[in-house]
Each structure stands twice: as structure tokens, then as C-alpha cells.
A = this chain, B = another copy of it.
């Protein structure tokens, strides 16, 4: 056993912590995927996913990473040789470019720049200049913490006669994206963020317009073919066309019940509070957020590290000395920012622990910090909110 003085805390927007009840469910004996005991779980998951996606669509499930869910969107929506418009603002948005290229699109890239939002007016201008049938963009850009205004971007895409496909891998279940209400054509997600499960399930919720378009689009696909999975999931009882990741569904079933018990609105409210507390801590420490100050940026808090210290050491010190795993910057932001995730199974004291370790690591790295300053500011936010902020049991 590792040193118990240094207990482990996972604060990354990669895999996120798993509630004990979810872990327990996944340790149950294996089930045959066509046996009634599993089909019951599977059917309940398909229904519960609709609640989180806020949709009447079939939420298509793939044994895959979140990027596999994205690949399904590219494979089903890209028409080789035709234009596809990617509106990005960070590393994961740029993945859409690579995907569209790989599936043969003439990709047009509207790059808002890392740390900025995609501006609806810019998308409008770009679509006038280079019309496309599908726009690919990002809800929560994990590399920077930025959360885009998907409602507005959807409106712009639709006004230009385009469909919109949104990578909501790190955002779904943390910040609102009411798919049907906003008319978002495709929402892609993964199991390992706010859905409080291990990585290994990729999701794509495609509306009728997107399914119809996909039926006529021609990139290569089989495992990720939406039509095949729609057909299986619509059977009575539902039947996955390929062996589903049984243990992950057993976990998802419990996680979806936890979300339902907490209530989706309360889940969003909890994430708002966690984000607000994190931002208050950053300000109290006289540090700057990376990206715009935004009441909706409640998935990942990205912090500019102070000049004059070796920024890359901060996440390392936090992990190795204090047991708190956060992420640093990716690509050109390596060593320049720290990213603290709070999407999923997180409560108030996760934020306090993290900022306590952050303050200590900053001091270790040679930056002057009055210990407790950030923590105190976050505490004040939680106290002021006066609502229960614990994650579901």
C-alpha cells in the first residue's frame, strides 16, 4: 500500500473518480450479453442515457473511447471529397480536423485559437464564405476549459442549412446541452467524465436529420456504422450488434441511477458551484484564468501558472508530494497552465483539497503564496451557496 499520509485524489479531465457503488457493480460476476439479466441492464442504460442527453433519440453506444464516438460521427457524416467545417478552439476541436481529413473531407478549419470561444458570428461568416453540410465543434474544450455556446452555434449552423455535430465528451452531464430543445443534431460523449464511469464507452446521439444524412453519406464504416447500431438498439429487446462492454454497462446503470436520484438540474447546479469556487480560489491567489471568465466554464478550470517558476513541475509536485493528480497544459501550453477538472463525481472538499495542494506545490516551486488563501475563497463560495454540495453517495 502506498503511503497513507499521501492519499490519492484524481482531479483530471481524463478518467474521473468512480463512485464506490459503480465500482462494486462492475466487480459482479460476468453476464452473457444476450441473457435477460444483462438485457435488463442494457435497456435501462439506453433509457437513462436519454435523460442525460435530454433527448428522445436513440443514444448509440459503442465499446470505444470518446474519440471512437467522434470517429463514428466523422465516418457517418463526412462525404469524401465534400467540404466539412470544423470550428475549433483547442486540442480536441482540432481532433475533428484530423478526423474529417482521415475520412476524406475537404476540411475547412475555423480556428478560434486556444483559450477563446468559437464566436457564433465568426461561424456565420465562415459558413457564408465556405458553405458546408456539416459543422463539427466542441462543447467543453478540455485542453483549455472553454465551454462554447452550443445553442447559438446550432442556430447559426441551421440558418446556413448545415447540421451540427458536437463533441460533448467532457461536458455532457456537467453543463447543460439539452439536445432536443436546442435542436443539436449530433451529440458525442464518453463514459469517463461526468458520467462517472471508467473509460471504454463512446456515445453518439443523432437526430433523424443526422441519421437520414448519414444514410446517404459515403465514408467507410462498419463497427461505427450508426444504422447498424440503431437497428440493434431499436429491437425488442434491444441487442447490441457487437459484444457490448458488459462491466461498463453494469457500472453505467448505477451511475445513471445516481444522476437520476440527484436530479440532472441539481447535477448542473453542483458543477456550477464547483466551478465558481475554483475560479474564486484562482482570483484569491492573484492568478489568472486561462480563457475568458465564464459562469458556464464549469468542467475544467484552467489556470495560468505564475511567471518565474517552472510550470511543468507544479502538477508533478502535486501528484508526487501530495497525491493530487491534476493535468498540466497540452501542446504549446505545456508548463504554462494547470488544469483542474471537476466534472463527475466531485464534491466541495475535492476542490478544497486540490487548491490546498496547489498552494503548497506553488510554494515548493518557489512562488510566494499565503497558504489557505485560495482554499478560504472557495470555502466562502460553498458556505454562501448554502445548499448541499456533496456528490451523490
Give the B-binding residues of A (Cβ under 8 A): 8, 10, 12, 14-18, 23-24, 26-35, 62-68, 70-71, 74-75, 80, 98-99, 102-104, 190, 192, 198-200, 202, 219-225, 242-248, 319, 325, 327
Chain B residues closer than 8 Å to A242, beta-carbon distance: 65-68
Contact at A223–B34, with CB atoms within 8 Å? no
Give the copy number. 2
> Given A65-B244, A199-B63, is A12 in contact with B26 using a C-beta cutoff of 8 Å?
no
Contact at B68–A223, with CB atoms within 8 Å? yes
Q: Select A222's contact among B26, B27, B74, B202, beta carbons within 8 Å.
A: B74
Q: Which chain B residue has the least Cβ–Cβ distance from A9? A: B29
Contact at B18–A220, with CB atoms within 8 Å? no
Q: Select A26's contact among B8, B10, B27, B220, beta carbons within 8 Å.
A: B27
Contact at B200–A248, with CB atoms within 8 Å? yes
> Given A27-B27, A68-B242, is A102 in contact with B220 using a C-beta cutoff of 8 Å?
yes
Nearest Cβ in chain B — how far from A237, in angstroms?
Answer: 15
Chain B residues closer than 8 Å to A64, beta-carbon distance: 62-64, 68, 223
A98 to B225, CA, bound (A): 12
Q: Which chain B residue has the least Cβ–Cβ distance from A101? A: B222
Contact at B243–A245, with CB atoms within 8 Å? no
Q: Which chain B residue has the least Cβ–Cβ distance from A190? A: B243
Q: Which chain B residue has the least Cβ–Cβ distance from A244? A: B199
Q: Select A12's contact among B17, B32, B104, B200, beta carbons within 8 Å.
A: B32
Nearest Cβ in chain B — how far from A166, in angstroms?
Answer: 18
A198 to B251, CA, bound (A): 13
Contact at B27–A10, with CB atoms within 8 Å? no
Chain B residues closer than 8 Å to A66, beta-carbon distance: 242-243
12 A-B residue pairs with CB within 8 Å? A16-B30, A23-B27, A24-B27, A26-B26, A33-B199, A34-B327, A65-B223, A67-B243, A103-B222, A220-B221, A245-B248, A247-B247
Contact at A200–B68, with CB atoms within 8 Å? no
Contact at B75–A220, with CB atoms within 8 Å? yes
Chain B residues closer than 8 Å to A98, beta-carbon distance: 222
Contact at B220–A219, with CB atoms within 8 Å? yes
Q: Select A67's contact among B16, B102, B200, B223, beta carbons within 8 Å.
A: B223
Chain B residues closer than 8 Å to A190, beta-carbon distance: 243
Contact at A246–B67, with CB atoms within 8 Å? no
